[in-house]
Amino acid sequence: MSVLENNPALSAEINLVAEAAGYLWQKGWAERNGGNITVNITDNVDSALKDKEPIAGPFPIGSTLPHLKGCWFFCKGTNRRMRDLARRPMENGSIIRITDDCAHYEIVADKPVMPTSELPSHLAVHNYLIAKGSPYKASLHTHPIGLVAMTHNPAFLEKDVLTNILWSMIPETKAFCPRGLGIVPYKLPGSCELAEATIASIDDNYDVVAWEKHGVFAVDTDIMSAFDQIDVLEKASDIYLHARAMGFVPDGMSQAQMQEISTVFKLPK
């Protein structure tokens, strides 16, 4: 029996993850096992789940994350496909809890599916968000084609060059991704260095961070909001790339037009 059976709130939360995973596959951003999702589900853990004996672990996180004491997460499994997570979330992901030393995790349900190889980045970011008192509960890493392609141009890796190009492609981009796109220079996938650089960029006030030549990492209140922020940025990159494919460099909206968006939508930047 799944731990979701008598827990409608948690069930709804996992269903949303499955829905988002399906979109990632449909978008073409999730080849093979590409991308990963974690959600801080601590608020929806019931007593049945709390009383359950772990089925695997403890396993080391690779660092000590003091703000994760008592926290629970749903995680995509490593080497698992988004398209499979979409149809069978509890067979392609698992629920983990952080042990009291804040340096290990145990798998509690439903199956002993080992969490994503990007767990160091996901958990370090959740630890950071809790420390900051942020309401954000979801983190999403995916491989969107246009945004990754743009990170292959060194000129686009300077601070806020991509942010301004993308915001200027279509007004909604700035309205719905108001903090823009942070840049993390290439780091080994799954490494603690990648986790540290990701936190540094999120701390620089970005909700979405590009991992050079690899993908993007987004945080938000829930998984669908994290997906939406990436989706609007990827739409903007598509428009840019279509213009370039037609043989011209797109004009983009003017600074004055973008400032007007900030004023009308009461945006932070």
Of 37, 64, 72, 65, give the one whose Cα is nearest residue 224.
37
Name residues whose C-beta falls within 8 Å of residue 152's C-beta, 6 or more positions apart in sequence: 213
Give the number of other Cβ atoms within 10 Å of residue 49's Cβ: 19
- Calculate the alpha carbon distances from 254 to 87, 169, 170, 200, 259 in Å: 44, 10, 11, 30, 9
Residue 126 interacting partner from Zn ion, ligand 13P, none (CB closer than 5 to 8 Å by kind)? none
Q: Residue 264: which H helix or E strand, with range?
A: helix 255-265
Establish whether 118 is a catalytic residue: yes
Residue 116 interacting partner from ligand 13P, Zn ion, none (CB closer than 5 to 8 Å by kind)? ligand 13P
Which two tokens mark 129? 């968000």
Of 56, 47, 99, give the one whose Cα is nearest residue 77.
56
Cα gap 160→166, rounded to integer Å: 10
Q: Any contact of residue 144 with Zn ion (CB under 5 A)?
A: no
* Cβ-closest position to Zn ion: 215
Closest distance to ligand 13P from the beta carbon of 117 (Å): 3
Query: In terms of CB distance, is 141 or 174 closer to Zn ion?
Result: 141
Contacts of Zn ion in 5-24 (CB under 5 A): none
Of 245, 240, 64, give the one whose Cα is nearest residue 146.
240
Closest distance to ligand 13P from the beta carbon of 186 (Å): 12
Query: In terms of CB distance, is 120 or 180 closer to ligand 13P?
Result: 120
Residues that bind ligand 13P (CB under 6 A): 33-36, 76, 78-79, 116-118, 141, 189
226 in Cβ contact with 220 (< 8 Å): yes
Closest distance to ligand 13P from the beta carbon of 260 (Å): 38
Residue 182 interacting partner from Zn ion, ligand 13P, none (CB closer than 5 to 8 Å by kind)? none
Query: In terms of CB distance, is 180 or 215 closer to Zn ion?
Result: 215
Closest distance to Zn ion from the beta carbon of 240 (Å): 22
Which two tokens mark 258? 């973008």
Query: In terms of CB distance, is 13 or 118 closer to ligand 13P?
Result: 118
The structure tokens 């915001």 sit at 167
Cα gap 241→235, rounded to integer Å: 10
Contacts of Zn ion in 198-227 (CB under 5 A): 215
Residue 33 interacting partner from Zn ion, ligand 13P, none (CB closer than 5 to 8 Å by kind)? ligand 13P
Query: What is the SS3 assignment for 98?
Result: strand
Query: In terms of CB distance, is 215 or 252 closer to ligand 13P?
Result: 215
- Among the listed residues 13, 118, 196, 234, the single catalytic one is 118
Closest distance to ligand 13P from the beta carbon of 94 (Å): 12
Active site residues: 118
- Which residues would be at the binding site for Zn ion (CB under 5 A)? 215
